[in-house]
Amino acid sequence: MSLRPLWDARGVAVIGASDRPGAVGRLPVQFLQRYGYAGRIYPVRPDGAPVSGQTSYASLADVPGPVDLAMVMVAADKVCGAVRDCAAAGVPVVIVCSSGFAETGEAGAALQDELVATARQLGVRVLGPNCIGTVGTARGQVSSFSPLFAGEHTELVAGGLGFVSQSGALGYGAVSLAFERGLGLGWVVNTGNEADLTATEVMVELAQEPGCTGLLGYAESLGGLDRLAQVVAGGTPVALLKGGRSEAGAQAAASHTGALAAQDKVVDAALRQAGVVRVDDVEELLDVGDVMGLVERVRGQQIRRVAVVTTSGGSGILAADAIEAQGMRLAGLSEQTLATLDGIVPAYGSTANPVDVTASVMSNPALFDDALAALAGDEGVDAIVACFCVLTGSDVDAVVTALSRVREQTGVPVIAVRTGADHLAPQASATMRAAGLPVYPTPARAVRALAALAEFATPRARRTGRDSGHHSPAAPTPPTDWAALDEQGLKDLLGRRGLPVPAGRKVTDAQDAVSAVSEAGGRAVAKAVVPDLLHKSEAGGVVLDVTPGAAAEVFGRLAALGGEVLVEEMVPGGVEALVGSTDTPLGRILSVGVGGVLTEVVADVALRVLPVDREDVEEMIDETRLGRLLSGVRGQGAADRTALVDTVLGVAALAAELPAGAELDLNPVTVLAADRGCRILDAALATSPAPESTVRSEPDAARTAPVAHPTPGD
């Protein structure tokens, strides 16, 4: 069923309409009238009295024309009845604005469950409940009661972006800021409690709208990331503000939504795999929205090497700092470009990137054009950030003309920075925006938006159902009792899967320990195998470099810890890595990073949601200090990176077979010198119930903050 009536309905019914000034049951009727809604408006109230001068109807059955969308604004206990009326009248999509559902506790949650069951039985799609509504700017369809639309100066600014928010108040606050800066939004949807329709489902539908150039969203819980990945892969850029980064923020989100937030690093990893750009605040979300219109121009291009042109040395320095912080770099200019700039820029300026052309060049449009053309024509320049301060009067027109010309003639993306009060050039931002030039007040904000454009240009969407690239020997049927595997049993399984584990065995007594050390070449590692003892080193449960002469005493000491004793070959030192997997509300993840006894202190790991491929694993290694360690530091030669990647892929394949709730921890995995492979020195498997999926899969409910109860009709 199409969700299009949410923003493009032939007729909108407001069930529970009121004519009392300021009543939420009156506001949607008012707003539809005020903003020139092109369809029919049908207020529904029991007495059939007019609403905002509009003819109303005693019931939905009395409405004479087609109704594609109904706004339900009655008390919570009457909502299911209203949905039944909608189904009987053939209304396919309903916005339940009423609160009093899952956001209020158990009784409300039960009422919400009844609402969902009723709607699904009748084939009606429900947005909400506890929802402020939707907007389709092209048709003036303000099917919302947000106070934003009562503002004296509020005007709809149409455009190609969709905006979807779980939070109603924050969402429409962000919409007001978008309109104020001139950022056009074609569609706005608040999803409320998401009892039925979710933000992801709405975004998927919006991406199919003609003219949709990108999607912005605010979310407190996540679901359906595979579907968002398909949207990104299909060419629609997506940026998301996900609340709950900090522990305090996560707790607030839990209170706000009735669900625990996923560990934030997992959220980062999952969004990155889906190709979704994550932002940190509303301002940044809108900043990123400003560059989405450029995506089609730069699709498939590399945007890593940036030229900065400025009239202020300070702005150039800040831009350079921001470029490095965002993982991009200042472009190295060619000798030809430098020679051209030397002939343009006065001696008191600078031709080194950042290029300070000075105010004298700015006062001569021809010279400024030549400087921009030289930068844009340099094969080492992927993008230009143009920084200006205190831009006034006619200077704006000259800048816009020059920047627009170079962008059109060369295709090089251009981002503008204008640091200065609006009153100095009141129309500057609007003029630049009209010319297709994203403009920002500071270099840092401009560069962050450019970094997002770089991600959109070459999206790395999650590849599902792919071949991992690792093919291990035929494996036995996995054991039925995973919980019974101790370290030796787990290593035996890893070995059968073709993964590198040290040779070793459990020993039964002191004399057997002496024999096992001799079998290992006369130098061995002895370990205590004690149930639930995960950190053996801290408990004195690992002894290195055990010789046959010391084996009996070591056996006695380790056996005294209450378990068995494992003797393994001594593996020479190498780079210590950690490889593991665990379940999260967003799926089973793979962890790769710096290993050893200080793993928790260093806390340097990269995460991916399974499945992964070789490219993923290579990226994970380079995201951490592990990449540098493997390449060799302080005179050490390079380690066998290829062997580690192969091992990680094998572990990922095994992790996919583990039972729900299992946690696999391989630490350390010692990576030896080049071509000497690696060894999994310590291995542990813990089994427990899987975490509850509070960052849920559709269509489970998220709980959002309550809005005021809509007042039933008078």
State which fold the 503-569 domain adopts: Dna Ligase; domain 1 (3.30.1490)
pLDDT, residue 382, reads: 97
For the ranges 27-36, 252-261, 589-598, 690-699, which has the lowest average pLDDT?
252-261
Place of tokens 């950022």: 183
| pLDDT in the model for residue 698 | 37
Q: What's the mean pLDDT in 578-597?
A: 89
Q: Give CB contacts under 8 A, 24+ apart, made by 255-258.
A: 256/220, 256/703, 256/704, 256/705, 257/166, 257/220, 257/221, 257/702, 257/703, 257/704, 258/102, 258/103, 258/109, 258/701, 258/702, 258/703
Rounded Cα–Cα distance for residues 477 and 498 (Å): 14
- Residue 627 has φ and ψ, to the nearest 5°, of -60, -45
Pick 471 or 16 by higher pLDDT.
16
Structure confidence at residue 53 as a pLDDT band (50, 70, 90): very high
Q: What is the pLDDT of residues 666-702, one digit of tens each?
A: 999 999 998 899 999 999 888 875 444 434 333 333 3
Q: Do the domains at 301-457 and 575-686 have one common CATH topology?
A: no
Neighbouring residues of 217: CB distance < 8 A, sequence distance ≥ 6: 163, 164, 165, 199, 203, 238, 239, 240, 241
pLDDT computed for residue 704 by the predictor? 39
What value does the mean pLDDT take over residues 277-297?
95
131 and 190 Cβ atoms separated by less than 8 Å? yes
When the pLDDT of each residue in the chain is averaged and rounded to a whole number, the result is 88
pTM: 0.85
Mean pLDDT over 185-199 rounds to 97
Supply the pLDDT for residue 603: 80
Read off the pLDDT of residues 645-662 as tens digits, 9 standing for 90 and up.
999 999 999 999 999 888
Confidence of residue 602 (pLDDT cuts 50, 70, 90): confident
The third-level CATH classification (topology) of the domain covering 4-197+215-220+242-263 is Rossmann fold (3.40.50)
| CB burial of residue 345 (10 Å; 0-12, 13-18, 19+) | buried
| pLDDT above 60 (res 250) | no
| 372 pLDDT more than 80 | yes
CATH superfamily placement of domain 301-457: Succinyl-CoA synthetase domains (3.40.50.261)
What does the pLDDT read at residue 210?
Answer: 95
Lowest mean pLDDT among 192-206, 275-289, 567-581, 690-704: 690-704
- Whether 424 shows a pLDDT value over 80: the answer reads yes
Angle between helix 443-457 and 282-291 (nearest 10) = 60
Query: Would you kindly state where each structural domain of the chain is located, as residue ranges?
Result: 4-197+215-220+242-263, 301-457, 503-569, 575-686
- Residue 1 is predicted with a pLDDT of 83
Listed range (87-91, 220-224, 466-470, 554-558) with the worst mean pLDDT: 466-470
Q: Would you state the pLDDT for residue 247?
A: 59
Domain 575-686: give its CATH architecture. Answer: 2-Layer Sandwich (3.30)
pLDDT at 467: 41
- Of the two residues 239 and 252, the one the predictor is more confident about is 239
